[in-house]
Chains A and B, each alone.
Chain A
């Protein structure tokens, strides 16, 4: 059969609407539109939506971990480390990813020496598979951590973390304080300077597979941690250690409850040593406390406060060292019959004698020359009744009532340190004023800080103020020298050294509101504060013994505290290189 092609005109009409050229153009346009749409979408994904998509994606396949910043080191004044962070690791598990629970726990137990209870807990957690994170051990040795890490155990994580250590044992613990397991300061300077010592944490990211396992080699530090600042204290490690040792020795010897001591560099107010020891109630052992009782505990200063009364009256020109009073051994004031420490006939005593023999009644006579208000102002100027510049955590301001608030015999007993309370720190600062020629220098504990770049920033010098005249300070100092040579503090003598000091034996208020304990015994607080060389003082030391045994001769400041001072002097002489003033003979010839 013959096939007949349509005539050309008909063919042209049939294909007019779809000529190849037009079809191509149409297809190109469609493709171009699609392509433009794709390009626009891609551009949108790459620009405006890029960040959110990137982070959403990253969230799916990466895990971020905080990198602990190394906590700053605490140095003594000579750059010796008192507290520092050493490399350690936190070992944790993800129970959901652990493949062989008992075997893994056994392995971790062998390396980390876990308690039976902890091991059982871990096995239980692995069986439950409820939680995604359980600590195995915190602050474990870094070497063991590396060992565990190298095993690449499924579900076991090893993270770097610092561990706070004191390389000198308990030396300085009372001042430095403590940190908790998270490395946060919870006591002492660790608490006070926590913000400074804590650096800025860093950030590390790690890519993970869909099953949650880390992809090896994918770890990267996205934000570097910055180490905390370091503290350079005014403490001298050797002096601090010796101070703690002599205190421990004494309280063990006499069976006191505890003791505190402060060593101050006289001209600068820098604290070279500040120790606090106490008997553990449960074990009966004596140890350095993590509480700084020298700054926290306030007690009646007792006879040490007589120095303030006498120096103030001398400075006002109301008395001279030779001004004399006829002093009875007891006298009625308001509702109370106040007495000296021992019975004596009425006798004429000079102001010097009053201080040397520590007469309560004589000191009241001196205070009455000034009047209560002026006396109170002087006590405040000496630093009583307000916190020191240290502003130590938990520091007590003590109690110093306004003159008009004093009640009954308190109005006069404040002259010899009853009816007023102060911390050892305040009292040491007050007596340091006499040693420093009448100028009060605020105590200082932090000398400098070291920044992240290693630069040292010295802290400003301690603020100071004149409290009594130089002459009054010198006269009081001379009297205090005689206290050591011929008065109540002869046990503070050290051959070849001229020492000035004052004892104090105060009654301590018990929890029952009286000065007696449950056995009916008086509770004492024995103190001695001294400085040397008396001619040109370089160091001031206060020693306080808390609750020395009531029934023995060790209950007095002269017997409990003064010997500790004498014991400490050779160390101070050696460590500070204090040479006797030329021509000084100590108490020889006194």
Chain B
């Protein structure tokens, strides 16, 4: 079977042959925008990832700070409780009560006695220093000083 082209098709074929543009060498497509975009994407992604990690770290540290603050608060409370117990134990009311239970009574009078230097030295070695006067032996744990030290560290915050 032989195909007989239509007249119109023949005509259009002739026209297209004549209007076809000249072939040219196309320049190679530039890649730097893609590279730049990729780089930007990496930077942005890294930044976002970094921010997320940073915030996580921040939250974690904050939790740690909160835990520490709670611990400080608890220790401060414990300090106050122990301070109270010590004051109670050292109070004249308790000491007098305990002495009474042991059958001790207040002396009717007081007197001063000479202390041998050796005895004084032994006492100092055990209990601490003496103040300006010869009569007082001070135990080196002043409750007020201890309290002030703690208060100074916590700046008055409970």
Contact = CB atoms under 8 A, between A and B. Distances in A.
Contact of B87 (A69, A168, A225): A168
Contacts of A170: 93
Contacts of B93: 168-171, 241
Interface stretch (B47-55, B121-129, B142-150): B142-150
Given A224-B157, A245-B96, A573-B110, A167 B142 contact: no
Contacts of A78: 142, 144
A579 B136 CA distance: 12
Interface stretch (B5-13, B15-23, B32-40, B76-84): B76-84
B156 interface: yes
A472 B87 CA distance: 45
A313 to B, nearest CB: 37
A452 B158 contact: no
A371 interface: no
A142 B143 contact: no
A259 interface: no
Contacts of A455: 148, 152
Contacts of A73: 147
A171 B149 CA distance: 26
B87 A81 contact: yes
A551 interface: no
B144 A453 contact: no
A70 B81 CA distance: 13
Nearest to A249: B106
B145 A79 contact: yes
Contacts of B90: 80
A238 B66 CA distance: 43
A226 B111 CA distance: 48
Contacts of B88: 167-168
Given A227-B156, A454-B148, A577-B136, A79 B143 contact: yes
A171 B92 contact: yes
B151 A454 contact: yes
A171 B142 CA distance: 20
Nearest to A170: B93
A86 B151 contact: no
A81 B151 contact: no
A227 B151 contact: yes
Contact of B92 (A202, A225, A238, A451): A238
Nearest to B150: A454
Contacts of A580: 112
Interface in A536-590: 570-571, 573-574, 577, 579-580
A237 interface: yes
B158 A86 contact: no
Contact of A199 (B81, B111, B156): B156
Contact of A452 (B69, B87, B151): B151
B91 interface: yes
Nearest to A169: B93
A167 B144 contact: no
A435 B135 CA distance: 23
Interface string B91-119: 11100100000000011111110000000
Contact of A81 (B83, B96, B149): B83
A179 interface: no
Nearest to A225: B158
B89 to A, nearest CB: 9
B152 A241 contact: no
A15 to B, nearest CB: 26
A232 interface: yes
A238 B91 CA distance: 8
Nearest to B78: A87
Contacts of A574: 110
A80 B107 CA distance: 24
Given A87-B80, A577-B133, A453 B151 contact: yes
Contacts of B149: 454
Nearest to B158: A70
Interface string A321-338: 000000000000000000
B84 A142 contact: no
A84 B92 contact: no
A496 B81 CA distance: 44
A463 interface: no
Nearest to B84: A86
Contacts of B111: 496
A571 B96 CA distance: 13
A571 B83 CA distance: 26
Interface in B54-87: 66, 69, 77, 80-81, 83-84, 87
Contacts of A67: 158
Contact of A169 (B66, B91, B148, B157): B91
Interface in A146-195: 165, 167-171
A206 B46 CA distance: 34
A173 to B, nearest CB: 11
Contacts of A409: none
A34 to B, nearest CB: 25
A80 B108 contact: no
Question: Considering residues B77, B88, B109, B156, which has the most beta carbons from chain A within 10 angstroms of its beta carbon?
Answer: B156
A225 B158 CA distance: 7
B3 interface: no
A242 interface: yes
Contacts of A75: 143-144
B80 A85 contact: yes
A199 B77 CA distance: 17
A495 interface: yes
A167 B143 contact: no
A245 B92 CA distance: 11
A456 interface: yes
Contacts of B143: 75, 79-81
Contacts of A577: 133, 135-136
Question: Considering residues B91, B110, B158, which has the most beta carbons from chain A within 10 angstroms of its beta carbon?
Answer: B158
19 contacts: A78-B144, A79-B143, A80-B143, A84-B87, A87-B80, A167-B87, A167-B88, A168-B93, A169-B91, A169-B93, A170-B93, A227-B158, A237-B91, A452-B151, A452-B155, A454-B150, A456-B148, A571-B106, A571-B110
Interface of B: 66, 69, 77, 80-81, 83-84, 87-88, 90-93, 96, 106-112, 133, 135-136, 142-145, 147-153, 155-158
Given A80-B143, A171-B91, 8 more contacts: A80-B91, A168-B92, A220-B66, A227-B157, A241-B96, A450-B148, A454-B149, A577-B135
The 8 closest A-B pairs by CB, nearest first: A79-B144, A452-B156, A454-B152, A577-B135, A167-B87, A241-B92, A168-B91, A454-B148
